[in-house]
Chain A
Amino acid sequence: MTTITEFSVAIQRRFGRQRLRKFILGMIPFIVLIFVWHLNSIFVWLDPVEIPPIADVWGAIFWLQSDCPGVIAAIEGHGDCILTNHVSSSILRVILAMVVGVPLGIGFGILAGMNRVVSAYLEPIGVFMNSVSGIAWIPLAVVWFGVGWETTLFIMLNTIFWLLFFNTMMGVRAVPKVLIQGVQTLGGTRLDAILQVYLPGAMTSIITGLRMSMAFGWRALIAAEMIGGDSGLGFMIFVSSSEFKTEEVFLGIILISIIFLATDRWLLVPLEKWTIERWGLVWKPT
C-alpha cells in the first residue's frame, strides 16, 4: 500500500498534478472507444468486414511488413517493406511541402502585411485560391502532373502556402506601430524591422497558420494520394478498401492520427512554448 502511495506521489511530482489529471481525463474517451470496439468483436454487432477486431488491425502491421528484411531495409525503403514505405512516403511529402511552403508563405505574408502595394496584388488572388478548397484542385493536378508525387506535392503546397500567407499577413498587420517606431528610432533598418519586430510579432498568427496547414495539408495529402498518388497512407487506404481489407484501412487511419498528433505535440507545442508563451503573448493554461 505504501509503495503504491509513494509511487503515485512520485508520478504526481514528476508530471505535475494538474497535467496528470488533464492527461487522464483526455484519455477517457479513447478508452471508451477502444472498449466498445473490443466489445464488438465479442458480440459481433457489426460484421468484421465493417469493423475488424483490434487484433486484426494490430496483425496488419506485421502482415504488411512480413517480407521486409529488417529495420535497416525499412529505413532504406526496401520494396517489400510495404507499410513503412507508405508511412515514410507520406511523411516525406509533408516535410517537403512544409520546407518549401512555410518559408514562402511567411515571406510573402510579411511583405503583404507590411506593404500595401504587395497586398493589393496578392490579397484578391489569395481569397480566390483559399475559397477553392485544396482538394478541388486534385482532378486538375492529375491532368497537369499525372499520378505521382508531383500531384500530391502540388496539392499540399497550394494548401499550405495560402494558409500561411493569410495568417502571417494578418499577424503582421496587428503588430503595434509603436514597436516598429521604437526600432526605427534606435537606427534599425527595414530588415531589422522584419526580423526583430514583424516576424516575432506575428508569431501567434503564424503558429495558428502552421496548425491549420498541418490539419488541412494532411487532409489534402491523404485525398491527393487516394486519387492522384501511387504511394502513401492515403493510397494504401484506398487500395485496401477496394480489396475489402478493412483492417488495413483502420490501421492507416490510426497511423494518420498518430502522426498528426505527434507533429502537434513534438513540433508545434514546443514551438509555442519556446516563443509566444515565453513572451507572454498568449494566456498560459495552468
Chain B
Amino acid sequence: MESVQIQQASKKDFDVVGKKVVRAGAVLAVLGKPSYTADIATGDLVYVKAVRSSCVHATIESIDTSRAKLLPGVLAILTSKDIPGVNDAGSILSDRPLLAEKVVRHYGEAVAIVVAETHQAAEEAAMLMDIAYTPLPSVTNPNDALKPDAPLVQERSNLVKHMKIRKGDVERGFSQSDLVVENTFKTEFVDGLPLETEAAYSYLEPSGRIACVCSMQNPFDVYGKVVKILGFEKAKLRMIQATTGGGFGPKSDETPIDVAAYACLATLKTGKPALAQFTRDEAMIIQCKRHPFIIKNRTGVTNDGRLLAWQSELIADTGAYVSKGHLVLGRAVFHCTGPYEVPNVKADGYCVLTNNTIAGSTRGFGSPQVHFAAEVQMDLIAERLEMDPVVFRAKNILRPGTRTLTNQRIEDPGLDMCFRKAVALSDWYHKRKQYEQHNKGTSRLKKGIGIALLYHGNTLGPESGDFATVHIAITPDGKALVETGLTDFGTGGMTSLLMVAAEVLGLPYEDVRMSRPDTGRVSDSGPTVASRVTVIGGRATFEAAEIIKNRLSRVAAERLACSESSLIFRAGNVYSNDKPERRITFRDLVVEAADRNVELKSVGYYLAPTTNWDEETGQGSPYNQYTFGAVVADVEVDTETGFIRVGQLTPVYDAGKVINPLGLLAVCEGGSIMGTGYGIMEKIVTSEGVIMNPNLHTYWIPTILDCPEIINSSTVESAGQIGIFGAKSIGEIPIVLPAAAIANAISWATGVKIREIPMTPDKILAAIMNVK
C-alpha cells in the first residue's frame, strides 16, 4: 500500500482548494431530469402505506385485516409476522421493531403495511384496518419516567444512559466562589424537517437482486438493516442514494430504514416496483426529533469574573426508542460548560425513555441545547457581576494551553480569533452604548445585542467508527470519477471532495465528477453524519488521489526523463519543476499509462485516531479537534406584542482551512436561519404523547420574511489537527448559537430572563409583564 503524507495547510498554495467553485449546472440538474426518489419511481408501481398506532402505549390485542383486504386494489397486508428476516429497524441498538409485535410504545408507531395498486387504495385500506388495543399506563415526562414506580416504556429501565464528568472538586470550587448562580433551562422537541419527506423506491433487477433508491444520508446503514429485515444474503440487495431533498439528521436516522424496508418488502411480496413515501404529517410524527433537554446549571465565579466551578444536570427525553439518544447525550455532556476553562466540573447527563415521539439525530446533535443553556447562563452571571458579557467571557475562554471540562488540552487559538472578529465586526461596544441610549428614549421598540460562543468536537469521536472510503477511477478521457458511499443532500460536502481530488491530481475542477452513491459499486464509506465529509472524507479522497498520482508519476518521470520528485501536476498538465518545457498533458499521460497497463483505479481509506476518555470521570480527549465559533445577534423587541425581529446575525467560525468557501457560506446562512427558527419559532407540541401540530401551518419554520436582514458571516482559519489540509467541521455547527445569542440580546434589551426556547411572542410578552 502506498503511503501518503498530508501536507500542512499553511505551507501550500492551492489551485482549487479554498477557491470559489460554483456548482455549475446545479439548478439545471435538478430541473432537467427526474432525480429525487419519487420522480424516478416508474413502471407498474405498487404503493406502500404504514398503518399506525393511535395509542401512545398499548398492547395489541388483535389485528383484523378482513375489511381492508376486500378493498379493490389492495394487494397485500403485512404485519410483523410476515417479515422474512429480523424485525429490527433500530439504527444502532436493536430496540425498535420495523412493525410493532405485541406492544406499541408511541403515537404513530407502525403496526402493519398495506401494499396497493394506487396510493389512494393504500391509504383507504390503512383506515379500514381493525386493530384492537388495550391501553397501558404511559409516561411522557422524563422526570416522571425516572421515578422508581414509573411505567416502563421498554422491557428495561427507562434510564438508557447516565454520563458523568468529574473534574477537580466541584464543592470546593463552589466554596471558594464569591458568587454562585443557578438556573434551569428547557428546550423542546423540534423537527429537522427536510423539505422532501422520506421516500424509497425499489424494483427487481433481472438478476433477481432488489435495487432500492432512497432519500437518505447513509446508504450503508440502511442497506445493512434492510438486508437483515428481508433475510437476504448481502449480494441480493443494492441501495442507491437518490438526490436527497434535505437531511438535517432525520435522514441519517431510522426513518429511511423504514421506508426502504416497506418498499423492498412490497417488491419481494409482489415482484413489482414499489414506492413508499411519507406524507408530511406522517414525517412530522415519525421522523426523529431534536431531543428536548432540561438542564440545570450551577456556576461559581470570583468577583473578578473567573469561573471556578460548574455543575450541570442534563435530562434528555429520547422518546419511546433510543435511536441515537445515548450518543446525543454524550455530545451534550462533553460540551455542557460551553467553550470555557473551568477547573472544577461535575456533570450528570441522563438519556431517558418516555412514550413520546422518538428523538434522535438532528443537525447539531445535542450541542444546540447545551450551548443555549451555557451561553445564557454566562450572560446571567455577567449581569450579576455587573460585567460586560464580552469582558466576562474573555477571562474564561478556551485558549491554547487551557483545558476543557474533560481536561483535554486545547492546541489552537481558533476561539479567540472568532471571538475578537465577531466583537469587531458587530461593532459590539459602540452598539451597546447606542442601543442603551435608544432604549432610554423609547418604551415600545427596544433594541438589544447579544453574543454567544461555541466549541464543537469534530466528527464522530466518542461515537466511534470514524472512517471513510473513497474510490477514484481515471477515465480514458483523462478525467477523474470519484465514488463513495458518503453523500450530499444539499450540504456541498461532495463538492469539497471533488476539490480535494482535483487539487491532488492537478486537474481543473470541471474534470472531476462524482457518481451516485451505490452500495453495489463502492465499499462501506462510513456514515454521512457529524459534519465529517470534508474533514474525514477529504483525507480518504486525498489518499485515493495520491495513489493514482504516484502511479502516474512513475510513467511521467520516465517519459519526461526527470525525477518523480520534480514533477508538478497542475491545471491538466504534468511537468518537471526543473525543466518546465518537459511536459505532457494529464490526458496524454493517462493514455500512455493505460497502454502500459498501469492500474488507474484506487481506493483511499482513512480512519481517524481513536479517542479516549474515562467512562467514570469523563476525563480524556473525546474529540480529535474542535471547531470554534462566535455569533452576535442584533434584535428588536416589540414590548407590546412580544414579537422579536432579528435584524442582524454576525456569525464567525473557525472551520480550519476552508476547502469550499462558497459551500461554507451557504451552510452558514442556512444554519443561521435554522438556528433562528430553533430560538424563536419551532416547537413540536405534544399532549400526553400525541403530536398536535404535524403540519406546516401550526409548526412554523422560518419563511423568507423571518430572515434576519443581514447575515454577516465570516471565517478565521486556525488549522485543525486531523482534517484534510487542516480543515475542521462546519456542516451542523451554524445551527448551534443563534438561539443563545438572540436570548441574550432580548434579555439585555428588556431585562427579562429567558431560560426556555422557543422564545415565542406569548412567552416574551408574559415575561415582560412579569418584569413590569
A and B found bound together = no
Chain A contact residues, CB within 8 Å of chain B? none
